Amino acid sequence: MKNLYEQAKACFLLASPDEKLAKTLDWVSDWKSDKLEWKIGSEPLHLNQPGRLNKPEIVAQRDLPRRRLGSVEGKASMIHALAHIELTAVNLSLDAVYRYRDMPKEYYDDWIFAAAEEATHFFALRDQLRTLGFEYGDFPAHEELWHMAINTEHDLMHRMGVVHRIFEARALDVVPLTIKKFENVGDKPMIDVLNMIANDEIGHVSAATRWFHYRCKQEKLEPDSTFLKLAKQYLHAPLKKPINADLRRQAGFSENEIKRLLAADY
C-alpha cells in the first residue's frame, strides 16, 4: 500500500497547481478507498516551502495594490488574491497531514477532505479569472498565511489555534462582505463561488476547533484562555473588524472567545 504521509509530501512539493491539485484529488480518492497506509511513516522532514512556479511574484502584503471592482483588472486582481489563498490552503491541509503524526483517523479525514474542497475552490476561482482574460500568476501575491504556518509548525495546537482559528477564520468575517461587493456589480457566478467557499470554510474552521480542543485536553489546558493567549502571542495587532459572530459560533467559537475578540481583549 502507498503511504499517506509520503503521498501528502509528494503533492505538497509539486510546483504546478494543475499537477498538485490533480495528484491531491487522486490522494483523496485513494484515502476514501482505503488504499493508503497511515499508521506508520518515517519522521517528517522540515518542508518549509511548498512547491511553486516562478509566478505569481511574491511580495510583502503592504506592497500589493488596492483591489477595486470598478475595472476588469481590479476585479481580476481580487479574484486572483482569493485563488492564491485557496491554493495556500491546499498546501496547509497537505502539511497538516504530513507534519503531525499519531493522530486519530478522524483528524486525517478532516484535513484530507479539506484539501479536496480547497482544490475545488481554487479551480472555481481560476475559471472566473479566465473569463476575465487572466490566469493565475498574472498578479503578485503575498505569503503571510504560509509564513504563519512556518511559525507554528512546532506544535499542532498552535497550528490549529493560530493558522486556522485566527487566519483562516478571517474568511468567515470577510467573505460575506466580499459577496456583497460582487452583488453590487451583478456578478452571480462569483457570488455562487463565494457562497460555496463561505459554507465550506465553516467546516474547515470547525475541524481546527475540534483538534485544537483535542490537544488542549491532552495537555490539560483550558481552551478559551489558551486560544486568547496564542492570539496575543502571534498577532502584532488586534483583528480588524468586522468579526462575524454568527459564523464563528457555527465554527465552534465560544461566546467568551467571540466577546474577547470583539473587544480586542487578549
Domain coordinates in residue numbering, the chain: 2-30+56-262
Query: pLDDT band at residue 41, thresholds of 50, 70 and 90?
Result: confident
- Classify domain 2-30+56-262 by CATH number: 1.20.1260
Count of alpha carbons within 13 angstroms of residue 42, beta-carbon side: 6
- Tell me the pLDDT band of 126, cut-offs 50, 70 and 90: very high
Question: What would the mean pLDDT of 197-219 be, rounded to a whole number?
Answer: 97
Phi and psi, residue 36, nearest 5°? -120, 130
Is residue 82 over pLDDT 80? yes
Q: What is the DSSP letter of 141?
A: B
Cis peptide before 189 (omega within 30 of 0): no
pLDDT value at position 64?
82
Residue 38 has pLDDT above 90, yes or no: yes
Residues near 57 by beta carbon (within 8 Å), at least 6 away in sequence: 140, 141
Flag whether pLDDT at 56 surpasses 90: yes
Per-residue pLDDT, averaged over 23-40, amounts to 96
The span from the CA of 132 to the CA of 121, in Å, is: 17
Q: How far apart are CA 259 and CA 171, in angstroms?
A: 18
Buried b (16+ CB within 10 A) or exposed e, 223-251: beebbbebbeebeeeebeeebbbebbeeb
What is the distance between the alpha carbons of residues 2 and 174, in angstroms, rounded to a whole number? 39
Kindly tell me if the per-residue pLDDT of 153 is higher than 80.
yes
* Residue type present at position 93: S
Q: For residue 65, what pLDDT band results from cuts at 50, 70 and 90?
A: confident
C-alpha grid cell, residue 63? 506592497
Are the CB atoms for 3 and 37 separated by under 8 Å?
yes
pTM of the model as a whole: 0.95
Report, as an integer, the average pLDDT of 162-188.
95
